[in-house]
Structure 1
Amino acid sequence: MAQFSVNPLRFDPYKNFKFRVRWDGRYVAGVSKVGALKRTTEVVEHREGGDPSSSRKSPGRSKYEAITLERGVTHDVEFERWANKVWNFGAGLGAETSLSDFRKDIIIELYNEAGQLAKAWKVFRCWVSELQALPELDANANAIAIETLKLENEGWERDLDVVEPAEPSFNEPQ
């Protein structure tokens, strides 16, 4: 059965600048950039002995690329706290890694221009493989200090419970 759009008149694609990231049931403050969600499936080539000299192709393993989150440096410690669950320097022998909760599921939400939730993705079993706590500092620059978190993950799926919103109209009543 075909699923019809709530807003069949929308032809414009969604913009990439209205989004939020959530983990542990809370929105993460100040995230200004989220890397692409990318899945690659390996190609398995095979050929039977009686086939002509061309190969057949079938899907193999799928891999999910790491996702990078960026935000301006603030006093919020969520990036560092999560990264320290994978490796906490100085925690003592046998206590450097938190095996019980170093993985988290995250949610990436995309909003339309009116600020309504339009699409969302669930990213599964993420863990921090890289933390850049402070960028290169430059006294001659005019820029924001950005911290970066690189999240390995084991897959993602679109949240199908999020449906296209009916966009508001600003027409005057008749």
Structure 2
Amino acid sequence: MALPELDTSVGHSFGLEVDGITIKQISEVTGLKMEQDVIELKQNTSDGKYVVKKLPGRKKAGEVTFTRGLTGDNSFERWVKDAQFGKMGAARKNGVVVVYDYEGQPIKRYKIMHAWPKSLEIGSLKAGDTSVLTEKLVVTYEEMEVE
């Protein structure tokens, strides 16, 4: 569903789709970006002036962090275990970060390719604390496309 003209999106709801499973309980996604190297070409023009041209280089790989409240769902842990035990055929996956509107309809999709989990961090455990426990999954990917 496209946004109406002149409207912008609100980071209201988003999810991660991997292996046909959608995880919608994610509370924060950071680090999602497309980047490439810059090549500087230094040369003299025909009239002797020194110029520097900037040319597009190779695409850069990236990392994205997913934060969600700690639940009984162990999909993050299973994915991390595959990578830790060297099962890269199972660990390296393609996934999609989906941004939803207020009605739950997808408005933007960011496809990450050849992604695998780098780390899983559990939030601070403090006796007597009433804050929500979280888990942060850092995923490295080789390419990203906007669908």
Interval of TM-score (by shorter of Structure 1 and Structure 2): 0.7 to 0.9
**Is 1:110–2:99 an aligned residue pair?**
yes
What secondary structure does 1:11 align onto?
Answer: coil
- Provide the rounded CA distance (Å) in 2 between the counterparts of 1:49 and 1:100: 49
- Provide the rounded CA distance (Å) in 2 between the counterparts of 1:97 and 1:6: 41
Q: Which residue of 2 aligns with 1:155?
A: 143
What secondary structure does 1:119 align onto?
Answer: strand
Write out per-residue CA displacement over residues 89-113 of structure 1, whole angstroms, 9 at most, x where no aligned residue. Answer: xxxxxxx311321111111111122
TM-score of the superposed pair, with normalisation by structure 1: 0.74
Aligned CA RMSD, in angstroms, stands at: 2.1
**Is 1:144–2:132 an aligned residue pair?**
yes
- Runs of 4+ in structure 1 off by over 6 angstroms are none
Alpha-carbon contact 2:113-2:144 (below 8 Å) kept:
yes
Instruction: Report the CA distance shift for 1:23/1:6 in structure 2 as closer, same or farther (over 3 A).
Output: closer
Higher-Rg structure is 1
Q: Which residue of 1 aligns with 2:72?
A: 75
Q: How does 1:43-82 map to 2 (within 5 A)?
A: 43-49=38-44, 51-82=48-79
Q: Which runs of 5+ in 1 are unaligned?
A: 88-95, 160-174
Query: Displacement, 1:47?
Result: 1.9
Alpha-carbon contact 1:38-1:64 (below 8 Å) kept:
no
**Is 1:22–2:17 an aligned residue pair?**
yes
Flag the structure with higher helix content: 2
What secondary structure does 1:100 align onto?
Answer: helix
Instruction: Report the CA distance shift for 1:116/1:18 in structure 2 as closer, same or farther (over 3 A).
Output: same
Q: Which residue of 1 aligns with 2:119?
A: 130
- Provide the rounded CA distance (Å) in 2 between the counterparts of 1:114 and 1:15: 12
| Residue identity opposite 1:75 in structure 2 | G
Query: Displacement, 1:72?
Result: 1.1
Query: Displacement, 1:77?
Result: 0.7
**Is 1:85–2:82 an aligned residue pair?**
yes
